[in-house]
Chains A and B, each alone.
Chain A
Amino acid sequence: MADERDPVVSRRYRELGAEEPPRELDERILAISRRGLERRRWYGPAAIAAMLVLAVGVAVQIERKPEDAVVADAPQKEKEQEQPAAKVEAAEQAKPAPKAAAPHQFAAEPPAAPASRADEAPRELAKRNEGAAAASAPQAAPSAGASVQDRLMSKTESPEAWLERIAELRRQGKHEEADKALAEFRQRYPGYRLSDQVRAKVEKK
């Protein structure tokens, strides 16, 4: 019975030669091994980028659809909604400095979603034209601008950012706007639980 570790057989086997793969084959395989890593390097980020683009695309579509559906009766409703706002603005003309500044301050904030804003521009223009009869042009425009800005922000900003904005309004003493923004917030996020700390900042004392 032969031992499975026979040194004579092993030695003779070694004498058959020590062939090696050709250099070109080595180079080809090593190049492929490196390409495999390179591919992985950009596949990951590319896949993430593609997913983000897709997610944003879907979100934008979802965001647009309900608006498009109500666009037919929107001007009338918006007009109705803005009339009280215009009245409030007119009444507040008596205290010019802080109140008049408010819409401009919002407008100066960085846009949350430039694409959405660009999309809103024509509609905003049409609305301004409609609202011109209800209030004087110089005042109505910022008022309408603030309204659109509010809507845009409420559509795009996170609940936390929204609450922070309300808290800022309270700090600035703009309680009426803060109340309005808080009401919109509650309408949008009915299940959102406010911590005591946040509640103290955003609710009227």
Chain B
Amino acid sequence: MEAGDEELMLAYRDGNAGAFETLYTRHRGRLYRFVLRSVKARGTAEELFQEVWMRVIEARSRYTPQARFTTWLYTIAHNLLTDHWRRKGLTLVELDEDTHAPAPDDPARSAEARQALSRFAAALEALPPAQRQAFLLHEEGGLSLAEIAAATGSNEEAAKSRLRYAMAKLKAALDDG
């Protein structure tokens, strides 16, 4: 049976380097995308991503599993992003063409799919930061409403409202196609 995140973090705290590697491998992709789609520049995303893990490493001796590890991880990421936005302003990353889903063979359909994705990406970028954060925490972090509320320092009602608005706007962008 696979070890839980919290168990791995405790093992790392107690000196097991392999536990951290497993934990990192498990969360690297989603956390990276969460950060990447919250900021504009890839370089900045990488810096922030590294900073999140640095905080995890530094905090290991104090770590006690009071909440899900994922909630803790994304709370750190959210706080770092908030600090970043305070300094730099609010923007979303521009997605590279080559990171999109593979294009269909039909050029017309391919162009249409690219347009739909662009619209979706634009809609995501256009979301107010709090709504975008709620959406990304939900999609990438897999956080529940209560966990989103905890990670963003709000209450569950606010988290639910933000996520609902985000979903409605993104769905509208899809329907426009």
Give the B-binding residues of A (Cβ under 8 A). 1-4, 6, 8-10, 12-13, 15-22, 25-26, 28-30, 32-34, 36-37, 40-41
Contact = CB atoms under 8 A, between A and B. Distances in A.
Interface in B43-87: 46, 49-50, 53-54, 57-58, 60-61
Contacts of A28: 50
Interface of B: 12, 15, 17, 20-21, 24, 28-29, 32-33, 36-37, 46, 49-50, 53-54, 57-58, 60-61, 95-96, 99-101, 116-117, 120-121, 124, 138-139, 145, 160, 163-164, 167-168, 170-171, 174
A4 B167 contact: yes
A144 to B, nearest CB: 55
A12 B28 contact: no
A32 B32 CA distance: 18
A78 to B, nearest CB: 54
B12 A33 contact: yes
Contacts of B46: 21-22, 25
B164 A2 contact: yes
Contacts of B28: 20-21, 26
B167 A3 contact: yes
A17 B99 contact: yes
A83 B99 CA distance: 98
